[in-house]
Chain A
């Protein structure tokens, strides 16, 4: 639930003093992302049976989280509201995927 019950316009600290995430931090994240891509391809070439898709998706999710947290500055955001928006969006996407799978997954059960 929207929890920022503070008076709507208390002076919050000035916006442009983002915490100083230095450029090297970005480059490290960038390298991890490239490594993740390479790892995805390598993992896809190994026969993991039914787990191939799961592995690919977990690596992709980790990469997406890295981009969201560091490149899109969710990590340092001074307000929980942005996190709430992201989480609720993912929740509703999750609803769409799982509840439609509730139908397709159980079609052959009769």
Chain B
């Protein structure tokens, strides 16, 4: 966008390179950015909220079948993924801290670590999906879920249709979450290049903060997804 020369309004020379023309001062620009990001996260909460509503209703209606389907997942991989995301949240916080303090090497290190952890998460997710494809647990014509006992009722077989609904919700929820992870990794790669070119200074590091907010939100979504999808009736 052409930073057209500002006529009249800004008499004193533009002291701040990153200040967009329609803001009066950097503080207003940063406040706007953070409010805008929080509202965007609000839309994401409602976006995932629709899925959680569908999940809640079907889980209460078909609890046994959901437990049977959920126990075909490996909760160990789920737990490691949760840990991976929590560590990535830590590295993101370090990155934001480093950007605010102007520590360039710490910033770049944290960003790289975050991207690596992001790929680790996607890698684990990929193995889980691959295993689901092998076991024909992917909803659709090829879906097979015969004579799998309901946990706690060894002689009762899970209903194939209800299990398919579980896996439909599983794939959409974790798939949407993974898509958000990919977008996050893309954004952090851009942050890495910008940081490498030294664009972020203690005065101007809004993109890093916004990236941090987005990443923490995606982590919070997974914090809820893990127990709801992986740990149904694990004790039986």
Interface residues of A (CB under 8 A from B): 9, 11-12, 14-16, 18, 23, 26-27, 30, 33-34, 37-38, 40-41, 44-48, 52, 56-57, 59-60, 63-64, 67-68, 71-72, 79, 81-82, 85-86, 88-90, 92-93, 96-97, 100-101, 104
Closest to A93 in B: B49
Are A72 and B216 within 8 A (Cβ)?
yes
Distance from A45 Cβ to chain B, minimum over Cβ atoms (Å): 5
Partner-contacting stretch, out of B38-46, B161-169, B186-194: B38-46
Total residue contacts A-B, CB cutoff 8 A: 128
Are B236 and A47 within 8 A (Cβ)?
yes
Q: Is B35 at the interface (CB under 8 A from chain A)?
A: yes
List residues of chain B with CB within 8 A of the CB of A60: 223-224, 226-227
Q: Is B122 at the interface (CB under 8 A from chain A)?
A: no
Q: How far is the CA of A88 from the CA of B46 in the complex (A)?
A: 11
Q: How far is the CA of A33 from the CA of B224 in the complex (A)?
A: 13
List residues of chain A with CB within 8 A of the CB of B227: 40, 44, 56-57, 59-60
Instruction: For the A-B complex with A26-B90, A82-B38, A97-B49 known, give 7 more contacts whose Cβ atoms are closer than 8 Å.
Output: A41-B75, A63-B220, A64-B223, A64-B224, A72-B213, A82-B34, A92-B49
Interface centre among B35, B52, B89 (most CB of A within 10 A): B89
Interface residues of B (CB under 8 A from A): 24-28, 30-31, 34-35, 38-39, 41-42, 45-46, 49-50, 52-53, 56-57, 60-61, 75, 79, 82-83, 86-87, 89-90, 92-94, 97, 100, 202-203, 205, 212-213, 216-217, 219-220, 223-224, 226-228, 231, 233-236
List residues of chain B with CB within 8 A of the CB of A96: 46, 49-50, 53
13 CB < 8 A contacts A-B: A30-B86, A41-B234, A44-B227, A52-B231, A56-B228, A57-B224, A59-B227, A60-B223, A85-B35, A85-B38, A89-B42, A96-B53, A97-B52
